[in-house]
Amino acid sequence: MSAQIDRYVSFRNVEWERRTAEVFDLLQVHFDTNTSPFWKYFLRQRDIAHYQGLDDLRVLHNFLPTLKDILEGLDDGVTLGKLEELEVLCM
């Protein structure tokens, strides 16, 4: 039986930074191959968010429905699975 994580109390021991980096590492293939016109816009918004002091978890959260839809359309179950895991644990 695994321990229940109350994400609303603390992100301690959830490793949200590592999990977020994993999702972005998986997305990098899509950025590099330009599998969707959305990626250019998404990366611009990421730069803006970083300038405003927001982290990548927040960026993913802001675009969660769009990202899920695009990844489903690209049949990228691995990245979608990691994104959904991140959503459940950290968003």
What is the DSSP-derived secondary structure letter of residue 36? S
Q: What is the pLDDT of residue 27?
A: 98
Is 45 within 8 Å of 59 (Cβ atoms)?
A: yes
What's this model's pTM, rounded to 2 decimal places?
Answer: 0.86
What's residue 26's pLDDT? 98
Question: Cα(27)–Cα(21) distance, rounded to whole angstroms?
Answer: 10
Structure tokens at 72: 């489903």
- How does pLDDT run across 52-89, given as a tens digit for each residue? 998 999 999 999 999 999 999 999 999 999 999 999 98
Each residue of 9-49: pLDDT tens digit? 566 667 888 999 999 999 999 999 999 999 999 999 999 99
